[in-house]
Amino acid sequence: MAKIVYGFGASHTPMLALEGKRWVERAADDRRNAALNTSDGRYLTYDELALENGSPYAGVATEARFLEIEAASQHALDRIADELEASAPDVMVIIGDDQQELYKAGDIPALSVFFGERIAMRPFAITEKTPAWISAVSPGYAMDGLHEFPAHPPLALDIIKGLMERDVDAAVCSKVDNPAEAGFGHAYGFIIERLFRKRPIPVVPILLNTYYPPNQMTARRCHDIGRAMRAAIEASPLDLKVAVAASGGLSHFIVDDTLDKKVMNALQANDAASLRAVPQSALNSGSSEIRNWIMAGAMIEGLPFNWSEYFPVRRTPAGTGTGVGFMSWGGKTTG
């Protein structure tokens, strides 16, 4: 029987693949963003946000603070990589979101499971108008060329069949025909490139539509499916040690540390009621990736909690940026 032995959550913001002294480039993007999402479901321009908030974060939106958080975040990622290596899983299930990398607008399933042999990454399309930071982070996402990684069709098929038996209708995908046009994206490449340390761990990608209306799942549904996925894995006759990763999040592009801490505290306490009650209004734009954490959290409910780290990265005086978080359960812990 397959068994989940280790789980973690890790943000995959471009800042984690970019030097801290260059994080100010992402701040410039925030100032140009005409749809900065609030946790009550509104969208604001930067000027509107600054008018509403003022500039309370000028003292932390500095290069010195960015460098501190960069070092602490990389330490947390190294810690997860150490634990992953020590846990020696046979396969990794990555819960991530597809941002029109594999699927296109208007044709995005709420949930999809890949059961092919190889995961083909989609390279970034770099043009003269592409921000310089995208070229800089593309190797950290394995999106700087045509990269392939091993998948795990047997476990993926058992998950698909197990979900169907538990009344979860999943879309499926088994092949990437032309990765230059459509392939896997940063939610998967970052975990593989940053944390696997070149080990060929087979991956089962679970793709959620977190970003794009109208078929974004509720937190309740994400949690339900996470539990169904765990049951499907445990019912598999395959003799496998399985690790589970939540890729992405937390709040962005306006940092809401109250929301982030509420979610992380609920995950730590196995507080299913609080996780299931996260409102749809709080799960828009980048903050929508919290869904990945909720689904993964339901999958690893039985594992002991190890540790967590959280850094509210406010890149501008008005408070735009990303809530960067890391959590770990089970496996073999490291200091």
Domain ranges of the chain: 3-330
Q: What is the pTM of this model?
A: 0.96
Closest C-alpha among 19, 8, 43, 22 to residue 286? 43
In CATH, what class is 3-330?
alpha beta
User: 6 near 84, Cβ under 8 Å?
Assistant: yes
Tokens of 204: 């089962």
Per-residue confidence of the chain (335 residues) as pLDDT tens digits?
Answer: 899 999 999 999 999 999 999 999 999 999 999 999 999 999 999 999 999 999 999 999 999 999 999 999 999 999 999 999 999 999 999 999 999 999 988 899 999 999 999 999 999 888 888 888 999 999 999 999 999 999 999 999 999 999 999 999 999 999 999 999 999 999 999 999 999 999 999 999 999 999 999 999 999 999 999 999 999 999 999 999 999 999 999 999 999 999 999 999 999 999 999 999 999 999 999 999 999 999 999 999 999 999 999 999 999 999 999 999 999 999 876 55
Return the sign of the alpha-carbon dihedral for residues 26, 31, 32, 36. Answer: positive
Closest C-alpha among 202, 216, 25 to residue 118? 202
CB crowding 265-302: b at 16 or more within 10 Å, else e = ebbeebebeebbebeeebbbbbbbbbbbbbbbbbbbbe
Please tell me the distance from the alpha carbon of residue 84 to that of residue 332, in angstroms, as a whole number: 8
User: 219 near 67, Cβ under 8 Å?
Assistant: no
Closest C-alpha among 38, 3, 41 to residue 252? 38
